[in-house]
């Protein structure tokens, strides 16, 4: 299995174009109890800005958050009028390219089933103190980070039953369970982005959760790809192969800074 240093030598220093793709929560930003407070720190924002402005580098952020929510947390990356980022929201259901064009990779859910799942999720949130419902266009998420641990099993079981009744696919995350309508995933979104970049592009993907595993697989199968998993107490190892592990989100930001420095060196060398 290729090491990170080996991948950098072969791909980044090999002068080919690079796609640097990342999850948001637990990867670019620390997991926090109140998800509304999750944000990029100054180092992460500066690294994304530098990479996205570097010739030959492309940057993508893939998240389960809604598009409006995710883009609001990525503000301040652009150095000009054009937004430089590829953004995928709703676990890969929507992809927005740097020109602002949107592509929806799954169809809209049945309204009756979606509404019924939202209603049941809200009932469960009222029964289990601390639970929070996030109703998105193509899914319903039940966050339970603030629910006492002894109640987690009962809450998630009840929500799984509700998902089955409405024919929604269940996605498990870090203290969140989500019922999704359609067959979206981050691997499909990553493949969609890669297909719109040069054929010889290298790809580095980093994530921390089960929802990142389809993207890990795409990166691992790519001839110039590399997949990194951010370790947490809640998820020590993924269920698919990766090339390496990082101890915390700060280690991913360290790597982004290193890549930004290499991008600057490449640009200086090309200019000379």
Give the residue numbers marked as catalytic.
23
Q: What CA dihedral angle connects 12, 187, 84 and 204, to 10 degrees?
A: -20
User: What's the CA dihedral at 198, 238, 245, 45 to 10 degrees?
Assistant: 60
Residue 15: closest CA among 256, 265, 272: 265
CA torsion sign, 111 to 117 to 122 to 123?
Answer: positive
Look at residues 1, 56, 82, 20 and name the one whose alpha carbon lies nearest to residue 263. Answer: 56
Q: Where are the alpha helices (DSSP H) in the chain?
A: 4-7, 42-53, 67-73, 111-127, 152-165, 186-194, 213-221, 249-271
């Amino acid at each position: 299995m290729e090491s990170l240093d080996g991948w950098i030598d072969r791909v980044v220093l090999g002068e080919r174009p690079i796609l640097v793709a990342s999850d948001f929560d637990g990867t670019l930003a620390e997991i926090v109890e109140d998800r509304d407070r999750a944000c990029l720190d100054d180092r992460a924002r500066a690294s994304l800005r530098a990479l996205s402005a570097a010739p030959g580098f492309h940057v993508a952020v893939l998240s389960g958050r809604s598009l409006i929510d995710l883009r609001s947390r990525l503000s301040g990356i652009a150095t000009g009028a054009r937004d430089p980022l590829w953004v995928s929201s709703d676990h890969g259901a929507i992809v927005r390219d740097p020109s602002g064009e949107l592509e929806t990779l799954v169809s809209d859910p049945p309204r009756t089933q979606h509404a019924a799942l939202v209603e049941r999720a809200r009932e469960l949130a009222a029964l289990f103190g601390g639970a929070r419902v996030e109703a998105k266009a193509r899914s319903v998420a039940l966050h339970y980070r603030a629910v006492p641990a002894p109640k987690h099993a009962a809450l998630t079981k009840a929500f799984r039953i509700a998902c089955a009744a409405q024919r929604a696919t269940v996605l498990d995350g870090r203290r969140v369970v989500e019922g999704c309508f359609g067959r979206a995933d981050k691997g499909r979104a990553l493949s969609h982005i890669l297909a719109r970049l040069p054929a010889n592009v290298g790809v580095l993907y980093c994530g921390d959760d089960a929802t990142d595993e389809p993207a890990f697989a795409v990166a691992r199968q790519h001839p110039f790809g590399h997949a990194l998993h951010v370790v947490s107490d809640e998820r020590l190892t993924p269920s698919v192969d990766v090339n390496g592990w990082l101890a915390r989100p700060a280690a991913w930001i360290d790597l982004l800074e290193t890549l930004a420095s290499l991008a600057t060196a490449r640009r200086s060398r090309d200019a000379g």
